[in-house]
Amino acid sequence: MHVDAMRTIDKWIGIPLTFCLTQLQRLLNIIVGNRIRPLKKILFIELSEMGSTILVDPALQKARKELSAELYFIIFDKNRGSLDLTGTIPQNNVFTLRENNLFSLLIDTLRFLFWVRRNNIDTVVDLELFSRFTALLTGLSGACRKVGFYSFHNEGLYRGELLSHRVSYNPHIHIAKNFIALINTLLSKEDEVPYSKQKVEDTELVLPEFTCSQNDTAQMHERINEYAQGYAEEKYHLVLINPNASELLPQRRWMRERYEALIEKILSLRPDLLVLITGAPGEKEEADQMCIHIGNSRCVNFAGALKLGELPILYSMATLMVTNDSGPGHFSSITPLPTFVLFGPETPHLYGSLGNSTAIFAGLACSPCVSAANHRKTACLDNKCLQAITVEQVYSTILPTLEDIPH
């Protein structure tokens, strides 16, 4: 389904449904009560953002270590592969929802109601900030503990009164720390209003480091050779360019012509640099047009060449990557790859990568213009926040890394 259609359904159907489910839950609590079970199995809900599956990993690690809990996850089917990058959630513990149309979404929601009970989930952690749909999934889960962000007296989106543990979302700290605050809520020895009255240290934001075998890298070199004639490992250093962003927020895209100009400057710096334009299969045509316009054999269309799970292998071999604020900026954080991320309608202070990442951010007075309060839907039709970032600014930022590459 289109993003705007999902927002419309979430608003006009989600509000009355969360209200009705709230009243039903209150009635059931009066009649039968809420039987508390030992904390053994935690289900995390994060549907639409692939990058968030990386940002939430420190919280997942803390839950597994300090709560000794078995972890489960529910996510949209198209984003399923992002969970495998860290390997924190066992594959058999992942439930996926198809969102390509309303009928399949309803069918999978019904399947979820049976799945969550069959697995005896006792705790649900809703990672979403604004989705009424995930609030409904949380409320219908049958879990005795329901943890999530709550607006309290702040102006925000109505999501019913379905949580047993209401956490105050803090828009002044990184989202990864907010996720850890959800776990601290479960670790708290006393009831708090609001949760969580505990500081999250920077040292807690640690990701697992990706490792690959020599066979993995050899196969990746062969794959690159299929797309780049004359490629040899000892001949070129790889520079990755990811010029697209998801349709959730197209305002995050830097202009194509500026990426083309940046690539031309990179290629003119030295002859041993090979630029790979990466992206999803649907971005292959646009990447092809970029290569044609640049007209250099060392600029190669690599969009759609890899599955999501293969990206860390490429990242571990490359010299650097320039990307819009999207999934790849977070996927690379489990590797040492120097990554340069262009931010516009969102801010790196809240959503920056946890890896070896440098944010390039104009910091206009209107930025960031998306938040939990507006369902991440901005009124902006002219992303001057990214137009303000020049080719020369990006090039000068990445130049020291390029100059450090051995010939």
pLDDT in tens, 148-165: 999 888 766 788 999 999
- CB count within 10 Å of CB 17 equals 18
C-alpha closest to that of 311 among 220, 238, 405: 220
246 and 122 together in one domain: no
User: In this model, does residue 5 exceed pLDDT 90?
Assistant: no
277 and 330 together in one domain: yes
Of the residues 172, 204, 236, the one at which a domain ends: 204
The reply to whether 25 falls in a domain is yes
User: In this model, does residue 46 exceed pLDDT 80?
Assistant: yes
248 and 327 together in one domain: yes
pLDDT given for residue 8 in this prediction = 81
255 and 380 together in one domain: yes
pLDDT given for residue 339 in this prediction = 97
pLDDT given for residue 37 in this prediction = 87
344 and 395 together in one domain: yes
Of the residues 204, 227, 260, the one at which a domain ends: 204
Range from 12-16, 92-96, 257-261, 399-403 carrying the lowest mean pLDDT:
12-16
- CB count within 10 Å of CB 227 equals 13
The reply to whether 345 falls in a domain is yes
| Rounded Cα–Cα distance for residues 138 and 156 (Å) | 19
390: left (phi over 0), alpha (psi -120 to 50) or beta: beta
Cβ partners under 8 Å of residue 372, min gap 6: 129, 130, 149, 156, 157, 169, 171
165 and 275 together in one domain: no
pLDDT given for residue 233 in this prediction = 85
Residue by residue, DSSP assigns 198-226 as: SPPPGGG---PPP---HHHHHHHHHHHHH
199 and 225 together in one domain: no
Give the phi and the psi of residue 386 in degrees, each rounded to 5.
-95, -30
pLDDT in tens, 275-332: 999 999 989 999 999 999 999 999 999 999 999 999 999 999 999 999 999 999 999 9
Q: Find the Cα–Cα–Cα–Cα dihedral 186, 189, 195, 199, rounded to 10°.
A: -90
User: In this model, does residue 12 exceed pLDDT 90?
Assistant: no
The reply to whether 390 falls in a domain is yes
196 and 225 together in one domain: no
The reply to whether 209 falls in a domain is no
pLDDT given for residue 246 in this prediction = 65
Of the residues 204, 235, 254, the one at which a domain ends: 204
218 and 140 together in one domain: no
pLDDT given for residue 248 in this prediction = 67
pLDDT in tens, 218-264: 999 999 999 998 888 889 999 999 998 666 677 889 999 999 999 99
> DSSP character for 82?
G
187 and 230 together in one domain: no
The reply to whether 91 falls in a domain is yes
Domain interval for residue 272 = 214-403
- Specify the DSSP element, H or E, that contains 166: strand 165-168
| Rounded Cα–Cα distance for residues 385 and 377 (Å) | 16
Q: What is the CATH number of the domain that holds 159?
A: 3.40.50.2000
Tokens 């962003």 belong to residue: 245
Q: Considering the chain, what percentage of its residues have pLDDT values greater than 70?
A: 97
Count of domains observed in the chain: 2
pLDDT given for residue 28 in this prediction = 83
DSSP 3-state of 241 = strand
Q: Find the Cα–Cα–Cα–Cα dihedral 350, 6, 183, 176, rounded to 10°.
A: -20
The arithmetic mean of pLDDT across residues 264-278, rounded, is 96
pLDDT in tens, 162-195: 999 999 999 899 999 999 999 999 999 899 999 9
The arithmetic mean of pLDDT across residues 201-222, rounded, is 93
Give the phi and the psi of residue 73 in degrees, each rounded to 5.
-150, 145
The reply to whether 54 falls in a domain is yes
The reply to whether 246 falls in a domain is yes
The mean predicted confidence, pLDDT, of the chain is 92
152 and 242 together in one domain: no
130 and 263 together in one domain: no
Q: Is 202 exposed, middle or buried (0-12, 13-18, 19+ CB in 10 A)?
A: exposed
pLDDT in tens, 364-383: 999 888 877 777 778 888 89
pLDDT given for residue 245 in this prediction = 64
The reply to whether 250 falls in a domain is yes
Using 50, 70 and 90 to split pLDDT, how confident is the model at 51?
confident
pTM: 0.92
Cβ partners under 8 Å of residue 316, min gap 6: 210, 212, 217, 335, 336, 337
